[in-house]
Amino acid sequence: MSTNVLFDLPGPRTRLRNNVLTLLSAAVLLLIAYLVIAKLGEKGQLDAAKWEPFLRGDTWTGFIIPGLISTLQAAAVAAVLAMAFGVLFGLGRLSDHRVIRVFCGGVVEFFRAIPLLILIFFVQAGPATLSGYTVSVPAFWAVVVGLTLYNGSVLAEIVRAGILAVPRGQSEAAYAIGLRKSEVMRLVLVPQATTAMMPAIVSQMVVLLKDTALGWIIAYEDLLNNGLKQFAVNYGNLIPSAIVLALIYVAINLALGWLAHRLERRNRRSRKSAAGPVTPPSAIGTGGGRSGGPGREAVATME
């Protein structure tokens, strides 16, 4: 039997079984889709009148576009702050000083362990509750601060894992020629780690963008709030509104992924790295150690 580097190629009987299972799975999925569409049709959610509001300009200018702008604003500000938070505390976890290392580790683990929704609620209601005075925190900043603390903590782990993914020989060679630790970080480790971290950072930014939808809980007028809590209630077309909003989110995330892929390819062409891609955020553990997947190996060059 022919073999592959990673697994044995399936024989005729296995290929036939796989094809049959594929056809059965496709048939089941089509049946489920048909039942869902039929049920929506019975409820009148597929009537032309339910979709007609999306063909009017005032729907987009009055609800969807303002909500989309608010979503992108919160995501952009939170992304910048979360990235700064992640770099600061990620490097802090690699500090030679035990106090700094323990403090940064405690902050990162604390905010990673708290659900984002609780963080958003606490940022908005916490100051008034703790101070005893009526302190109004704008919904925008409650969302931004919550997103920054949670996603910044995850990004800190990505930064730490990306730097640890660079082979130790790179830093040893840099120290051997007389570079200080700050210079080793800035000139050798961080440039190589950036290439390895890029896929994981982009993945977390997509999560951050989608998490802005939690702002509707505290009445932040984002895309989800305007599209479901206001527009859909007025026109009674909850399902069509949810479908349209989902497509908008998918389009934004695909555009973000495409842009990040272009940047990663350009970065890999301009700077070779010995570090493999960092493990995605969902698989990053809380402990220390060297992270990084078995990515494409390249010869590292020191600048």
- CATH C-level class of 54-283: mainly alpha
Residue 79's pLDDT is 94
**219 within 8 A of 296, measured Cβ to Cβ:** no
Mean pLDDT by 10 residues, the chain (303 residues): 58 88 95 88 79 84 89 94 94 90 94 91 81 78 94 93 86 85 83 82 89 87 82 77 89 84 71 56 47 38 38
* Residue closest to 92 by CA, chosen among 102, 80, 104, 81: 104
Residue 86 has a pLDDT of 93
Q: What is residue 174's predicted lDDT score, i.e. its pLDDT?
A: 85
Q: Report the candidate in 117, 38, 67 with the shortest Cα–Cα distance to residue 232.
A: 67
Q: For helices 65-92 and 139-165, what crossing angle results, to 10°?
A: 40
For the entire predicted model, the pTM comes to 0.73
Phi, psi angle pair for 98, to nearest 5°: -60, -40
Instruction: State the burial class of residue 250 (Cβ atoms within 10 Å of its Cβ: 0-12, 13-18, 19+).
Output: exposed
CB of 73 within 8 A of CB of 144? Answer: no
Residue with tokens 């938070």: 85
